A and B are shown apart, each in its own frame.
Chain A
Amino acid sequence: MVSHDSHAHAAPQGFIRKYIFSLDHKVIGLQYFFLALVAVFAGIFLSLLMRIHLVWPTASLPFFGEIKPETYLSLLTMHGTIMVFFVLTTAPQGGFGNYFLPIQLGAPDMAFPVLNMLSFWTTFLGFLVLVAAFFVTGGAPLHGWTGYAPLSALPSAGPGEGLGADLWIISIAIFCIGALMGALNFITTTLDMRAKGMTLMRMPLTCWAWFVTAILGLLAFGVLLSAGILLLMDRNLGTSFFVPLVTVNGVLTGHKGGSPLLWQHLFWFFGHPEVYIAILPAMGLCSQLLSVFSRKPIFGYRAMVYAILAIGFLGFMVWGHHMFMSGMSPYTAFAFSIMTMGIGVPSAIKTFNWLGTLWGGKIRFSSPMLFAIGFVSLFVVGGISGPFLAQPVLDIYLHETYFVIAHFHLIMGVASIFGIFAATYYWFPKMFGRMMNEPLAKTHFWLTFVGAYAIFMPMHYYGMAGGLRRYSQGTEVGWIHKLAPIQQFITFAAFITIASQFIFVFNLFWSMKKGEKAADNPWEATTLEWTTATPPPHDNFGGITPVVHNGPYEYSVPGAPRDFVMQTDAPVAARH
Chain B
Amino acid sequence: MSEVSRRHFLQLGACVVGGACAADALPSLAHAAEGGDITTLRTTLPYPRVKLASIGQLTVGREQLTTYPDQASPVVLAKLGRPAINGVGPDRDIVAFSRRCSHMGGTLSFRPDTATFHCPLHYAFFDAQKGGLLVIGQATDNLPQLELEVDAAGDIFAVGIRGLLYGRQTNVLA
Physical interaction between A and B: no
Chain A residues engaging chain B, CB cutoff 8 angstroms: none
